[in-house]
Amino acid sequence: MALATTTEVILGSIAFGIFWVLAVFPAVPFLPIGRTAGSLLGALLMIIFRVITPEQAYSAIDMPILSLLFGTMVVSIYLEKALMFKYLGRLLSWKSQGGRDLLCRVCLISAFSSALFTNDTTCIVLTEFALKLAKQNNLPPKPFLLALASSANIGSTTTPIGNPQNLVIAVQSKISFGKFLVGILPAMLVGIFINTSILLCMFWKSLSHKETKKEIVDEALDEGEVLSHRFSPARMSHLSTQNSQENVDGSEVEKNRQQLPIHEEEKLPNKRALFLKVCVYLVTIGMLIALLIGLNMSWTAITAALALVVIDFRDAGPCIDKVSYSLLIFFCGMFITVEGFNKTGIPSAFWNFMEPYARINHASGIAVLSIVILLLSNFASNVPTVLLLGAQVAKSAAAISPAEVPRAWLVLAWVSTVAGNLSLLGSAANLIVCEQARRSQFHAYSLSFWSHLVFGLPSTIIITAAGLPLINR
């Protein structure tokens, strides 16, 4: 694709630059409007500057991706109602053998949970548990926060529903859920092993501290405290909305309880709750089986979500309200902004320059391609990187051999996701863990940019390089 006119290139770059600044630094002093409004502003500027037409902007919005994202959010909300995340939290403390054992558990559970429930959801739910475990065992929170965020990113590479960029890749490439899983699973397992080993080496001494005041973790994570830790969807705002959401949920629950007859209220914790819990797990398993056998991912997720709404047999408003609509709107604006930037021809010109050196039929080409993806993922964020490079990388692979195309997409999924571990700003999961920890009422902790980079830089480079040879077609 040739470069557009000079005016379109300049104006399109300005619009994309504004989007990028607000996506990475949502609280900049001169325009602290947040990520969602920033994406809409970038999209609007692309239209006002006539880089794209309104019709092209509407067609740029990818409904299958939004549908898949919405469906998985709703399923995650009902899994929270079925206490799935409470059980994951208990696994962290069950028969614990000390700090190193706890760190390994955080890595494994975070990776597994992220593959099925997305990395952002995992980080939202498990950050507080990790902080509680660290404090109760008189251990520093830093290694557990790093383990949670980094393992969530690595584990999310395994499935199309693990993170937003995988959703984009799965829809655009039409790679089935099963092939996606088989293609990246070996790399993910090796990546988790290496990531855990690096964390253990870096924090070996601090994880061996004996407790000065031994307390039983199971008592610290009692029934009431665990149940009070409610699921809150990933928001694109730079401000914390968890406390306000909890207050809203609490008032809504109390209101519903007051409206129920006494005999109905007594039955809820027993038969109704058990029935709903079993149905949620069965529907979720059915959704995963449907995805594995190759059914349409978007409609499968929507079907599972609506099945749970019907089975719950009550007003779905409180559950649907927990969906992160700000995230969906952010994606709409981002689709339009990235499409406008593509129209300028800059991404194509950049790729045309790099393509001869980044072909995946030899090791040096894969190395160059990985470096490009890694740098762009940290500069422009991983989802825009996938949107900008995906079609170009697939086209280059198809010119070599059609059989190389799936591998090219999987390499893009692997590198763009693992690249999120490089810096604190590399992925939303990192920012969620950092923000949740900083605002925690139980054990507040501030994870700095540089302390994350000291771990993230070597971890990202080693894991990316180790996983690339293991990616199957």
CA 16 – CA 226 distance, rounded (Å): 42
pLDDT of residue 269: 61
**Please, which residues have CB within 8 angstroms of residue 237's CB and are 6 or more apart in sequence?**
26, 34, 35, 36, 326
- Taking phi over 0 as left and psi of -120 to 50 as alpha, with beta for the rest, 176 belongs to beta
Q: Which of 10-19, 266-275, 414-423 has the lowest mean pLDDT?
A: 266-275
CA 375 – CA 462 distance, rounded (Å): 15
pLDDT tens digit sequence for 417-427: 999 899 876 78
- Band of residue 405 on the pLDDT scale cut at 50, 70, 90: very high
pLDDT of residue 209: 56
Residue 28 to residues 25, 40, 230, 472, Cα–Cα distance (Å): 6, 16, 30, 42
Name the residue among 421, 420, 365, 419 with its Cα closest to residue 393: 365
- Joined tokens for residue 264: 């109905």
Q: Which of 259-273, 288-302, 393-407 has the lowest mean pLDDT?
A: 259-273
- Joined tokens for residue 191: 């990546």
pLDDT of residue 257: 38
Higher pLDDT, residue 52 or 131:
52
pLDDT of residue 229: 46
pLDDT of residue 455: 93
CA 450 – CA 472 distance, rounded (Å): 35
- How many C-beta atoms lie closer than 10 Å to residue 312's C-beta? 17
Highest mean pLDDT among 5-19, 251-265, 343-357: 5-19
pLDDT tens digit sequence for 63-89: 888 888 888 889 888 988 888 877 877
Average pLDDT value for residue range 190-213: 82
- How many C-beta atoms lie closer than 10 Å to residue 302's C-beta? 18
pLDDT tens digit sequence for 205-249: 888 755 434 443 444 444 444 444 444 444 545 444 444 333 334
| Average pLDDT of the chain to the nearest whole number | 82
pLDDT tens digit sequence for 161-175: 898 899 889 988 989
**pTM (2 decimals)?**
0.75
Highest mean pLDDT among 186-190, 401-405, 453-457: 186-190
CA 172 – CA 169 distance, rounded (Å): 5
